[in-house]
Structure 1
């Protein structure tokens, strides 16, 4: 009987070692809850970003980092509220998480590594150059939190003028480009006039420099009148009567 009692006690003791302590089980639940919800939120933000930009995500890795203080928190009985952000959903992220019911809040972090297929410069592009199809190739690039203004579509690059030098095989940012200056001060231009199916063109002289969509003063050399016209191509402006 003594041997049986000892055996039973040993089994109970051994089983107790295999089971987590109540406090640790609770702590693990909080950490898991935060990790799971934050990962799901980042996944949703990446999907939305991809849909809005049209950029193809080749691969992604989400590594949530929950502070050790979360181990002492009481698990939230409902979904934890995690703030959203207007920034890019990749790079080093930090968000505030809170459980209203239990009255606690903390900051959680995540390292999100995203590789995307992007149009990049096929060669070094100098200031003043106009980007053509031959200047663009596609490559997989690892994005960082600083890539807030990347251009992901070739259509947004063609015909644009380089404002700041673009290095070969680097992602292209919006602030590196500008609308091309189709017309410069003093240029001889062709003025195109359109109205209800009527079309005419006449020689003119640019009194201002301008790019696509910019209204500039142009002198009609046929009539001598100064009009407002809009550059539509190199050496050509349009006006509507």
Structure 2
């Protein structure tokens, strides 16, 4: 009886050891299996979304050239792949020129937001001087040239159409390759104070020409006072061209 009992105990102990050993091996095998990692968002797709957003919001037809340089994302940045299309917007305080920042957003179960820098250069054809010009010079077509400039580096008041400058008078001396600004020019004086002028009174169907004296200087379109030499009256008229003042 004792031998049977001892044998039975040995079998039971062997089975228990086998069970524990097998269970431990299974748990160890499960623990050694790699945990599935979520797919990561492609950085290039984020940059591409930002670029497409900027392209869509800049009217390239208004400029001679548009140049956009996108920033880079830190390669250590690990973002879960977005299940929905990425959305882009301009970050607060940014604009579609110069240094700017685009806000990229992912909506979903694990939403995230990232900011990407960019630099936008908007180029335009700006009118500049083709040669040195003196103060008082009346601008002609040969005095002007067109040069492509980055608008982000310019102050306002420049010209892009030479027709807006031809016939204007410089108020200051300019070097060659100078940008002509609005406060550098004026309409030339066509009537000078004390000069004799023709006064034209126009009405429906007829006009009367008289001689007078200009009481002040005037450029085309200026309203000035003139003295009618016949009546000695002082009246107001508009300078039409050199030596001619029109009254209604």
Instruction: Work out whether the TM-score is over 0.5.
Output: yes
Q: How does 1:48-127 map to 2 (within 5 A)?
A: 49-50=62-63, 57=64, 59-65=65-71, 68=74, 71=77, 77=85, 79-82=87-90, 92-94=98-100, 97=103, 99=105, 104=113, 106=115, 108-112=117-121, 114=123, 116-127=124-135
Equivalent position SS for 1:142: strand
In the alignment, the residues of structure 1 paired with residue 131 and residue 85 of structure 2 have an alpha-carbon distance, to the nearest angstrom, of 56
Count of residues in Structure 1 that have an aligned counterpart in Structure 2? 205
Q: Which residue of 1 aligns with 2:29?
A: none
In the alignment, the residues of structure 2 paired with residue 63 and residue 141 of structure 1 have an alpha-carbon distance, to the nearest angstrom, of 19
Whichever of the two has the greater Rg, that structure is 2
Unaligned 5+ residue runs, structure 2? 1-37
Q: Which residue of 2 aligns with 1:231?
A: 239
Equivalent position SS for 1:167: coil
Larger RCO, structure (CA 8 Å, separation 6 or more): 1
- TM-score, length of structure 2 as denominator length: 0.65
Please, which of 153, 160, 171 is the counterpart of residue 152 of structure 1? 160
Equivalent position SS for 2:219: coil
Please, which of 219, 232, 237 is the counterpart of residue 211 of structure 1? 219
Q: Which residue of 1 aligns with 2:57?
A: 41
Relative to structure 1, is the Cα distance of residues 84 and 189 closer, same or farther in structure 2, using a 3 angstrom cutoff?
Answer: farther
Whether the 8 Å CA contact 1:189–1:237 is kept in 2: the answer is yes
Deviations 1:126-156 (A, max 9, x none): 22222123323x3443334215332122221
Equivalent position SS for 1:125: coil
Unaligned 5+ residue runs, structure 1? 1-20, 51-56
